[in-house]
Amino acid sequence: MKHANAARVELELTCDDQEIALSIYDTGVGFDLKDIQARHPGLGLVNIRERVRSVRGRLDIQSELGRGTRIVVTIPFSGAPHEETTNSLG
């Protein structure tokens, strides 16, 4: 809520026999991911990406200025390879 200036944040944690998933959605200001990565390489998103990769997980970041942000982290229980996607909301 602090960084996004969000009025609302939703968290969902799910788990099944194949994976565990955390979804975080906020109604905040959103951001341009490419711009943030170029201007703020030390941002916490870099740490999230590295940690997800280290457990062979998948990270999906969707954000758009003025429309909020959704981050989904999925960590497999099997040895499945990881993927990474980055999109805009819409």
pLDDT tens profile 11-48: 999 999 899 999 999 999 988 877 776 676 656 777 88
Is 69 inside any structural domain?
Answer: yes
Does residue 49 belong to any structural domain of this protein? yes
CATH number for the domain that contains residue 45: 3.30.565.10
Domains identified in the chain, total number:
1
Domain assignment of residue 35, given as a range: 9-78
pTM: 0.74
Indicate whether 37 belongs to any domain. yes
The answer as to whether 86 is a domain residue is no
Q: What band does 4 get if pLDDT is binned at 50, 70 and 90?
A: confident
Contact of 13 with 21, CB cutoff 8 Å:
yes
